[in-house]
Every structure is written in structure tokens, then in C-alpha cells.
Amino acid sequence: MKTQIAIIGAGPSGLLLGQLLHNAGIDTVIIERQSPDYVLGRIRAGVLEQGMVDLLREAGVGERMDREGLVHDGFELAFNDRVEHINLRELTGGKTVMIYGQTEVTRDLMQARRASGAPTCYDASDVQLHELKGEKPYVTFVQDGTPVRLDCDLIAGCDGYHGVSRKSIPDGVLKAFERVYPFGWLGVLADTPPVNEELIYASHERGFALCSMRSPTRTRYYVQVASDEKVEDWSDQRFWDELKSRLPEPIAAKLITGPSIEKSIAPLRSFVVEPMQYGHLFLVGDAAHIVPPTGAKGLNLAASDVSTLYRILLKYYREGRQDLLEQYSQICLRRVWIAERFSWWMTSILHQFPGTDAFTQRMQQAELEYFVSTEAGRTSIAENYVGLPYEPVE
């Protein structure tokens, strides 16, 4: 087999890149280790920045999002029995976010890929990348027991944190930066009406809580739990009781509970590798960086990497701009680090950190107080939350 761009991974990064390139007449083959159903079974975040919304529309996959997604003008920050509204639209000169689940984004992209006729090899095993620094890179994998070789010009490593792409770069090339937080998020998905029209991020002495949603009839709620908690120890009742205990009384009183349809614990981590390119291989999305979910930045950062790589590849194929390939990593990393900062900061001010001293606790409260009670602080939160602009590729 032969293609222009070999894409490893059919998560949102790989599928979105594939769709944009296909529409531009650039050939791609996507190689995915799992089945389509497995990929769709993963419950992930659901807040899309304006930049990602625009990119999905540009890729021609925004129709259902525009119909079913919920535009949110702001969100609530709850602490010390106060609820403070962050008005995104007013603080950012009209920007908002779109509530639309990553699962739905993936479903729309999968359908568009299928309709386009461009190939996706699901259930591929033993995926290996070759000649990353050589003349002609290629990918090998096994499908239905048969070995396959895919020759290509370049490889996009869109295979997430556990993927093969980053691991194919020789030792000593990448510098990794990491922070593992001493807690996780226990999340519950339920077919219940949201407790509030907008998302509520709540800081409480029992731990952080988040009230999010997928639609007017489906909610996604989270509570901070210790790193060693087991999901089996959390009955639905225990989860709802804990969530209520962390919300301001008037909100807790309105909470409608119901049976969970998914329940899982996710660890919180910040992680970045530099650079995001090695020879003919470009790392995209979770393959290169992870953020804790507190700022809702994971999926959005993946989209900005995709946008950058797509615009570079357009100029590479149409104008012969070889020089731009070398700029991919620098362009992406500037935005990645700023989103890493915001996600780390939101995590730091809203969670309970085991073992912190009384002074540190007061500093955390003062920081939250200062940021929500000043125009400068609220603006800083709002402009990061709606997402910083994408850097142009010139």
C-alpha cells in the first residue's frame, strides 16, 4: 500500500486530520489498533473551544454539532458556599464554548471518513514505524493475520499517550516534562437533567467536584478521589451523596439523581514532550501532551495541533514549503505550554492536595478569591477557558 500521509490512531486527532487532508485532495491511510465500537465506547470530555468548533465546520463535520451542541456563554465557580459566574462572552469580547461530547465528535468524524471512501484500517496489530530519519518512511502492521506495508511521505502520530509513535523515537531525543497529581476524578454519566444550565466547578474542603453535561437530558458529574480509590467501592448512592456534600446547599437541593450509565476513575497528569517532531514523524494530540481535565483543554489542544499540521501540509504539498515542516513543533509547543499552565493552575486552585500545610491552604483560597473578584482575574480565566487563538502558519 502507498499513501501520502500515514495517520496512526483513529481518535479525534487522527480522524480530524484525515478529514481535512482528504477534503484538500491529500491521500491518507489511518491505522487504528482498536475496533470502531471500542473507540466510540470511551467517554471523554465535552467542552469545545471556538477554534475547534470552527475547525470542525471547516472539515465539513459541524452540522450535527451546530444542531445538537449547547452554546455556553459562561460557567460557575463555587467555593465557600458562594457561586461566582464567569461570563465568557462578556469577558472575551463575544467568545463562547460549545458543549458537545468527544464521543459525538468522533462519531461524526467516523461517519464522514466512511462516506469519503478514504481507508481506515481498524483492528491493526503490531503497528511499527520505520525509516523515520531515512529517505522514505513506512509503516508495517498486521491485519486479519496478514502483514501489511504502507509506504508514505510523512507519518502523523495521532495514537494517544499509550501509542507506538512517541515510543518509536530513539532514547535521548525527547525531553519529557511531567507532573502526576495525588488524586483522580471519579466520573459518572447519567440520563438525568443537568442541575444547572452552565457547568459548575466546585472547590470544597471534601475535594473538588464538577457538574457537566452532554445534553439537556444527559449529565456528566465528577468528584475528586484519592489516587488509590477503586471504582467498585463507589455505589451510585455513595457517589451522589458525595457530590451533593461538595456543592453549595441550594444547588445540592436541586440535584436530580439516577442510575449511572458509566462510572470510571481517571488519574490526573500533566505531560509534555519536546520536540513534537522527529524526522518524518509528527506527534499530534495526546501522543505529545496530556493535561489534567480541569481546564477542559485535552481535546482542544489536539485540535490546535491538527490545525497547525494541516496548514503546514497544505503549504508543503501546494507550494513546496519544506521549511515549514521544521516549524511544526515550535508553533504547537507555544500554545501547548500556555494550555498546560492553565490546566495546572485550575487544578491547583480547585483541588484539595493531601498533606498541604495551613499557609498553603490560605494561599490557595486567596488566589481563588483574588481571581474571581477582580476584572483582571476573571478576564484571565475567561480568555484561557475559551482558548487562545491559533497561531497562523506563514
Q: Which is nearer to ligand APR, 76 or 159 (CB)?
A: 159
220 binds, among ligand APR, ligand PHB, none (CB under 5 to 8 A by kind): ligand PHB
In the list 55, 139, 156, 296, the residue contacting ligand PHB (rule: CB under 6 A) is: 296
Could you say whether residue 343 binds ligand PHB (CB under 6 A)? Answer: no
* CB closer to ligand APR, 188 vs 247: 188
Residue 340: all three cell numbers together: 498546560
Which of 29, 43, 45, 349 lies at the binding interface for ligand APR (CB under 6 A)?
45
Interface mask (CB under 6 A) for ligand APR, residues 4-23, using x and -?
----xxxxxxx---------
Q: Quick check: 137 binds ligand PHB (CB under 6 A)?
A: no
Give CA–CA dist 252/245, Å, rounded.
Answer: 7
For residue 243, the surrounding DSSP H or E stretch is helix 236-246
List beta partners, residue 185: 224, 266
82-87, strands of its sheet edge to edge: 82-87, 74-79, 200-203, 209-215, 218-226, 175-190, 260-274, 289-290
Q: With respect to ligand APR, which residue has the nearer C-beta, 91 or 288?
A: 288
SS3 298: helix
Q: How far apart are the C-alpha atoms of 299 and 290, rounded to whole Å?
A: 10
Considering only residues 293, 306, 332, 333, which one is a binding residue for ligand PHB as defined by CB under 6 A?
A: 293
65 binds, among ligand PHB, ligand APR, none (CB under 5 to 8 A by kind): none
**With contacts defined by CB under 6 A, how many residues of the chain interact with ligand APR?**
28
SS3 34: coil
The Cα–Cα gap between 51 and 57 comes to: 10
CB of 224 to ligand APR, least distance (A): 18
Q: In 3D, which of 267, 260, 261 has the Cα closest to residue 243? A: 260
Q: What cell was used for 269?
A: 497528569
Q: Which of residues 106-125 bind ligand APR (CB under 6 A)?
A: 124
167: Cβ contacts below 8 Å, ≥ 6 apart: none
Decide whether 101 or 275 has the Cβ nearer to ligand PHB: 101
* Alpha-carbon span 394 to 391, nearest angstrom: 9
Pick one of 20, 55, 97, 127: the residue that binds ligand APR (CB under 6 A): 127
Contact call for residue 46 and ligand PHB (CB under 6 A): yes
- Asked if 299 interacts with ligand PHB (CB under 6 A), we say no
In the shown chain, the binding pattern of residues 268 to 307 toward ligand APR, with x for contact by CB under 6 A and - for none, equals -----------------xx-----------xx--x-----
* Cell numbers given for 283: 506527534
User: Of 5, 257, 205, whose CA–CA distance to 118 is shortest?
Assistant: 5
Residue 299's binding partner among ligand APR, ligand PHB, none (Cβ under 5 to 8 angstroms by kind) is ligand APR
Binding of ligand PHB at residue 219 (CB under 6 A)?
no
Question: With CB cut-offs between 5 and 8 Å by kind, which of ligand PHB, ligand APR, none does residue 102 bind?
Answer: ligand APR
> 50 or 165: whose CB is closer to ligand PHB?
50
* SS3 at position 260: strand
Which residues are catalytic, by number?
A: 72, 201, 293, 297, 385
Sequence letter at residue 78: A
C-alpha count within 13 angstroms, C-beta hemisphere, residue 254: 10
Between CA 381 and CA 349 the distance in angstroms is: 12
Closest residue by beta carbon to ligand APR: 11
Q: Whose Cβ is closer to ligand APR: residue 25's or residue 41's?
A: 41
